[in-house]
């Protein structure tokens, strides 16, 4: 049960559980390789997702395998849970909160809008050739289209696929080497891309004002209800 009211109730009784906000994850960004001109010098192409996944793993592990607790803590949790058990959200209700109607479609539309708006800055195929012609050691002789697979292999070899972040620094060093190779082919267009991004954001909002406002109202309601939301695990 992920529930701010439950966590606050336990804290009032002297039992700290964990910060309920650790179970809420930010929206991820579109795949920048589809719009490479926005790749910045410190871009976290893969490591941001790895860190989020590690957070999710820690929360899930704590929920599924809680540490042994004294009897008085177990009793306090039962007492805190009792008033809200009937109101625990079902999986479908949770999905309606975290992924409201229209969100996935609007995210896909934004990705298309972004790619189209930046298309005049260069051909993505030319960008790919530029990167591959550098023969960066970070790509290990692989094609750019294999970069996701290469990142997964590197993360697995460093033990990053099970929530253990001890290999993250080494992974980040490799990731920055990849970004350096990408940036060599992005740099001439980067400033123009950043300028266009603001214009594209404005035009997208104007074109999809109703959808955006509907989602904003949804998130606003979620924030107002945050104190009483219960999320079943």
Could you tell me the two tokens for 184? Answer: 């060599």
C-alpha triplet 81, 82, 83: angle, nearest 5°: 100
Inform me whether the pLDDT recorded for 160 exceeds 70: yes
Give the pLDDT of residue 232: 37
Q: In this predicted model, what pLDDT tens digit does every residue of 52-106 receive, in sequence order?
A: 888 878 777 776 777 788 889 888 888 887 765 545 556 676 666 667 888 889 9
Q: Which value, to the nearest 10 degrees, does the dihedral of the CA atoms of residues 217, 211, 21, 9 take?
A: 30
Report the pLDDT averaged over residues 21-27. Answer: 58
pTM of the model: 0.73
Q: Three-class SS of residue 228?
A: coil
CA 99, CA 215: separation in Å to the nearest integer?
A: 10
Q: In this predicted model, what pLDDT tens digit does every residue of 173-196 receive, in sequence order?
A: 999 999 999 999 999 999 999 999
What are the residues whose beta carbons fall under 8 Å from the beta carbon of 141, sequence distance 6 or more? 135
Compute how many other C-beta atoms are within 10 angstroms of the C-beta atom of residue 221. 12
CA nearest neighbour of 81 among 137, 3, 18, 188: 3
């Amino acid at each position: 049960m992920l529930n701010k009211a439950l966590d606050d109730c336990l804290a009032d009784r002297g039992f700290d559980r964990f910060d309920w906000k650790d179970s809420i994850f930010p929206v991820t960004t579109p795949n920048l390789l589809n719009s490479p001109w926005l790749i910045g010098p410190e871009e976290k192409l893969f490591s941001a997702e790895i860190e989020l996944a590690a957070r999710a793993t820690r929360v899930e592990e704590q929920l599924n395998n809680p540490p042994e607790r004294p009897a008085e803590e177990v009793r306090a949790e039962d007492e805190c849970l009792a008033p809200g058990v009937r109101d625990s959200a079902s999986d479908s209700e949770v999905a309606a909160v975290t992924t409201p109607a229209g969100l996935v479609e609007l995210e896909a539309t934004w990705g298309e809008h972004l790619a189209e708006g930046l298309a005049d800055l260069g051909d993505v195929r030319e960008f790919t050739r530029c990167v591959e012609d550098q023969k960066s050691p970070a790509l290990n002789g692989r094609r750019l289209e294999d970069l996701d697979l290469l990142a997964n292999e590197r993360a697995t070899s460093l033990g990053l696929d099970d929530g253990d972040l001890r290999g993250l620094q080494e992974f980040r060093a490799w990731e920055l080497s990849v970004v350096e190779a990408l940036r060599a082919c992005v740099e001439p267009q980067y400033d123009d891309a950043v300028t266009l991004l603001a214009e594209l954001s404005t035009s997208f909002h104007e074109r999809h004002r109703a959808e955006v406002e509907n989602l904003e109202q949804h998130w606003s309601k979620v924030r107002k209800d945050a104190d009483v939301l219960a999320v079943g695990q």
